[in-house]
Amino acid sequence: MSIPFYKFEIPVLEAIDVKNGEATIEFVYDWIQKNKKDFFKEDPELLGRYKEGKGQIIWQNKIRFAREYMKRKGQLEFPSRGIWKMTAVGKDRLENWRKTGADPDQGLEIFHGITEIEETQDPEKVDLKVPPIYEHGDLLGFKGIVYEPINEQGVILLFAAMAEDLSFMIESIRSSFPDALLKRRNSKNRWQPVRAEFEFKASTFIQHGHNQNDCDLIICWENDLNNKKIKIPILSLKGEVEKIRRRAS
């Protein structure tokens, strides 16, 4: 199976980074051909041409598709003809890939419908529709989650990933208050029920006017409350991630 064009995105960013974030198209081609020889060994047809040998060189056309796709994702810009410049968004993606070994954009091509593109076309004439760029937090790289939460949904996702480490089991999660029914292992090695509410910041619990008597635990990313203001225990996942990392080091 031919290597799809979106697999060339990280190599394009790598090549541009060699030139401090701004490079000519010729340099990008040359760098990839010299430094990504495994691509050509895996897929020798990349060295051929489309249209029965009369069209574009296949691997170069794929790079142009990668360029157009990253342009629409806000990762590349073109200050002048033939010059490719990596944006802050592109640099962030490359740095995250280098730190974690995981591409933050992996899977987006399916969501965007890019896998259905016919790559023999001229990339500049293909409408690569990309939804607005999603915001994300700082790099987390924990339990398979790339970024820190920036909202309640992110807190729920992170808690689900680390529940076992915190001696919890998830029985159910719902949209009404309280958000979750959990089981927690106590000191006697028995499971007890816990009614939990998820918040990005603990103070949101008070802002929402929730009844403290109907909740046993607030699970948040950041505890910004003076505990004297509230009688419910607060579990800060930010703090728990730090504890787990310290124990592992």
Q: 143 and 38 in one domain?
A: no
Q: 114 and 164 in one domain?
A: no
User: Which residue range is the domain that position 118 belongs to?
Assistant: 5-125
C-alpha distance across the termini of the chain, in Å: 41
The structure tokens listed for 224 are 């910004």
| CATH code of residue 46 | 1.10.10
Q: 177 and 111 in one domain?
A: no
* End position of a domain, from candidates 101, 125, 149: 125
The reply to whether 133 falls in a domain is no
Q: 115 and 17 in one domain?
A: yes
Q: 174 and 113 in one domain?
A: no
Task: Tell me which of 121 and 88 has the higher pLDDT.
Answer: 88
Q: How many domains does the chain have?
A: 2
Task: Tell me which of 55 and 224 has the higher pLDDT.
Answer: 224
Residue 4 burial by CB count (10 A; 0-12/13-18/19+): exposed, middle or buried?
Answer: middle
Q: 119 and 13 in one domain?
A: yes
| Per-residue pLDDT, 214 | 94
* End position of a domain, from candidates 100, 125, 150: 125
| Per-residue pLDDT, 126 | 58
Q: Sorting pLDDT into bands at 50, 70 and 90, what band is 225?
A: confident
- Read off the pLDDT of residues 94-151 as tens digits, 9 standing for 90 and up: 998 999 888 988 887 877 776 656 666 655 555 555 555 556 788 888 888 888 898 8
Q: 203 and 181 in one domain?
A: yes
pLDDT of 197 strictly over 80? yes
| Per-residue pLDDT, 51 | 65
Q: 166 and 117 in one domain?
A: no
What is the rounded CA–CA span in Å between residue 107 and residue 180?
A: 29
Give me the DSSP letters along 196-232: EEEEEETHHHHHTT--GGG-SEEEEEE--S-GGG--S
Q: Sorting pLDDT into bands at 50, 70 and 90, what band is 189?
A: confident
Give me the DSSP letters along the chain: -PPPGGGGHHHHHHHHHHTTTEEEHHHHHHHHHHH-HHHHHH-GGGGSBHHHHTS-BHHHHHHHHHHHHHHHTTSEE-SSTTEEEE-HHHHHHHHHHHHHSS-TTTTHHHHTTGGG--TTS-GGGS----PPPPP--SEEEETTEEE---SHHHHHHHHHHHTGGGTEEEEEE-SSSS-EEEEEE-TTS-EEEEEEEEEEETHHHHHTT--GGG-SEEEEEE--S-GGG--S-EEEHHHHHHHHHHHH-
The reply to whether 134 falls in a domain is no
| Per-residue pLDDT, 86 | 93
Q: 17 and 91 in one domain?
A: yes
Q: What is the mean pLDDT of the chain?
A: 86
* End position of a domain, from candidates 125, 153, 174: 125
CB 220 within 8 A of CB 235: yes
Q: 97 and 15 in one domain?
A: yes
